[in-house]
């Protein structure tokens, strides 16, 4: 089966995926929304888009986010993007130069690390614990060098699944003011909560130094390639005169019009509630299966939302070697070293509970347990 960038061979269960479940993609709702937009015969949504995104779409999105976050988000604080990866790339193009330093959490999202490397940036990892980035370590690093920005995933982190606690979010905002640096918060999973997360980072931002990147990829469908940057209005207005926006206009007006209908009819809110119920059950299944089948090998924290479980293996284990065993048992995962800016985390693996149904998750863990048995015998 070919799933976007990844082709799944035979009966392989690939727990390394970071994608929504195929059965949960809202094909019928999107078909109906596209039809409704075409029936209206408004050709403007087929034109070059307004630089920051269509005003009516940003307005309906701001109303949705205000309700979802529980604090006001103004339409002029939003810029429409082609998703978080694109938003992050856009910010790098505007805010960095080759050999600039960016700070990241350790661990961090593997493809963000690759993106920063593509821009020729020097990556410095800041340690984390169960409450998020360790702010004392960050402050010590800031006294040595100033980054172009700090990239964090504050809520339901990829890969660790943790959420930065409220007190540390407050301290992060304070440090950004004291040391005069930007914070880029990847909020891909904030709306996929099973527990109650702290407010998003912009809530704690009095000085307009925080960018929050959001996306419809995880809450609707990744193929839409649609997302947003939430930031201070004056900062976003400074992007309008960039060549890419002046030449090509705002990003993805066609898809914006379709998603506009999904939001204003209340379908997005209902869909997210449905996703949270499914993902909570799948997360519980993966957690219970790991405790049953790998009781003495792996330790982890139960996820409060998002897509992932970050499994810690015994200290001397090497996830790359375990993965070779796993592939022979038709199960796959992401080895921990891929999420490290330092080449560490070899005894961790990332498992995704979002893509597969519960029965397949149970089978995947059984295969992983068999792989672990073979690994122990080999050692």
Domains: count for the chain: 2
Please report the sign of the dihedral spanned by the C-alpha atoms of residue 253, residue 219, residue 272, residue 2.
Answer: positive
**Each residue's pLDDT tens digit, 212-268:** 999 999 999 999 999 999 999 999 999 999 999 999 999 999 999 999 999 999 999
Q: What is the DSSP letter of 128?
A: E
User: Each residue of 37-70: b (16+ CB within 10 Å) or e?
Assistant: beeeeeeebeeebbbbbbebbbbbbbebbeebbe
SS3 state at 315: coil
* DSSP string for residues in 136-202: HHHHHHHTT---SEEEE--SS-TTT-----HHHHHHHHHHHHHHT-EEEEE-TTTTSBSS-PPPPGG
298: pLDDT confidence band, cut at 50, 70 and 90? confident
Domain boundary among 234, 266, 298: 266
Q: Does residue 2 carry a pLDDT above 60?
A: no
| Measured distance CA(313)–CA(121) in Å, rounded | 31
The residues, ordered by sequence, that sit 6+ positions from 225 with a Cβ below 8 Å of its Cβ are 82, 83, 86, 217, 252, 255
| Measured distance CA(338)–CA(346) in Å, rounded | 9
Residues 7 and 108 in one domain: no
Task: Give me 270's structure tokens.
Answer: 């209902």
Average pLDDT over residues 201-212: 94
pLDDT of residue 1: 53
Q: Does residue 292 carry a pLDDT above 60?
A: yes
Residues 207 and 309 in one domain: no
Domain boundary among 266, 292, 325: 266
pLDDT of residue 38: 79
pLDDT of residue 5: 57
The residues, ordered by sequence, that sit 6+ positions from 288 with a Cβ below 8 Å of its Cβ are none
Task: Give me 312's structure tokens.
Answer: 């810690």
| Measured distance CA(258)–CA(256) in Å, rounded | 5
Residues 245 and 112 in one domain: yes
81: pLDDT confidence band, cut at 50, 70 and 90? very high
pTM across the whole model:
0.95
pLDDT of residue 6: 58
**Each residue's pLDDT tens digit, 170-184:** 999 999 999 999 999
Residues 253 and 293 in one domain: no
Average pLDDT over residues 76-103: 98
Q: Where are the alpha helices (DSSP H) in the chain?
A: 27-39, 55-69, 84-95, 110-118, 135-142, 166-179, 233-237, 243-248, 253-264, 267-293, 319-328, 358-378
Residues 12 and 71 in one domain: no
Residue 159, preceding bond cis, omega within 30 degrees? yes
40: pLDDT confidence band, cut at 50, 70 and 90? confident
Task: Give me 368's structure tokens.
Answer: 């992983």
Residues 317 and 208 in one domain: no
**Each residue's pLDDT tens digit, 117-171:** 999 999 999 999 999 999 999 999 999 999 999 999 999 999 999 999 999 999 9
| Measured distance CA(275)–CA(323) in Å, rounded | 29
The residues, ordered by sequence, that sit 6+ positions from 132 with a Cβ below 8 Å of its Cβ are 105, 152, 154, 157, 162, 163, 164, 165, 168, 169
Instruction: Decide if 197 contacts 163 (C-beta within 8 A).
Output: yes
Instruction: Decide if 62 contacts 73 (C-beta within 8 A).
Output: yes
The residues, ordered by sequence, that sit 6+ positions from 370 with a Cβ below 8 Å of its Cβ are 329
297: pLDDT confidence band, cut at 50, 70 and 90? confident
Domain boundary among 266, 281, 312: 266
pLDDT of residue 276: 98
Size of the chain in residues: 379
| Measured distance CA(379)–CA(27) in Å, rounded | 48
Domain limits for position 347: 2-25+269-378
Q: What is the CATH number of the domain that holds 102?
A: 3.40.640.10
Residues 114 and 163 in one domain: yes
pLDDT of residue 304: 97
Residues 256 and 294 in one domain: no
Q: Does residue 42 carry a pLDDT above 90?
A: no
Task: Give me 92's structure tokens.
Answer: 């790098």
Share of the chain above pLDDT 90, in %: 92
């Amino acid at each position: 089966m070919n799933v976007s960038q990844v082709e799944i061979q035979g009966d392989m269960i690939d727990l390394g995926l970071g994608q929504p479940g195929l059965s949960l993609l809202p094909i019928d709702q999107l078909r109906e929304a596209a039809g409704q937009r075409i029936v209206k015969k408004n050709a403007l949504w087929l034109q070059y888009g307004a630089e920051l995104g269509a005003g009516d779409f940003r307005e309906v999105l701001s109303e949705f986010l205000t309700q979802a976050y529980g604090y006001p988000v103004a339409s002029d604080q939003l810029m429409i993007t082609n998703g978080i990866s694109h938003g992050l790339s856009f910010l790098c193009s505007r805010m960095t130069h080759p050999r600039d330093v960016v700070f990241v959490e350790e661990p961090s999202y593997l493809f963000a690390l690759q993106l920063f490397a593509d821009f020729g940036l020097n990556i410095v990892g800041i340690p984390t614990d169960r409450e998020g980035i360790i702010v004392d370590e960050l402050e010590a690093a800031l006294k040595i060098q100033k980054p172009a920005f700090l990239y964090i995933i504050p809520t339901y982190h990829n890969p660790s699944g943790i959420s930065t606690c409220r007190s540390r979010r407050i301290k992060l905002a304070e440090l950004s003011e004291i040391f005069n640096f930007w914070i880029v918060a990847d909020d891909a999973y904030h709306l996929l909560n099973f527990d109650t997360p702290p407010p998003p980072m912009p809530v704690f931002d009095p000085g307009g130094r925080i960018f929050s990147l959001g996306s419809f990829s995880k809450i609707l469908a990744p193929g839409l390639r649609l997302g947003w940057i939430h930031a201070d209005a004056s900062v976003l207005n400074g992007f309008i005169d960039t060549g890419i926006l002046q030449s090509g206009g705002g990003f993805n007006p066609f898809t914006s019009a379709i998603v506009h209908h999904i939001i204003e009819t209340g379908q997005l809110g209902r869909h997210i509630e449905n996703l949270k119920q499914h993902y909570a059950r799948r997360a519980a299944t993966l957690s219970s299966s790991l405790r049953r089948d790998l009781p003495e090998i792996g330790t982890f924290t139960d996820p409060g939302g998002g897509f992932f479980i970050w499994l810690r293996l015994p200290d001397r284990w090497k996830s790359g070697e375990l993965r070779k065993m796993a592939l022979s048992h038709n199960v796959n995962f992401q080895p921990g070293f891929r999420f490290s800016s330092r080449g560490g985390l070899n005894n961790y693996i990332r498992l995704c509970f979002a893509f597969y149904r519960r029965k397949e998750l149970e089978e995947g863990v059984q295969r992983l347990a068999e792989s672990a048995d073979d690994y122990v015998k080999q050692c």
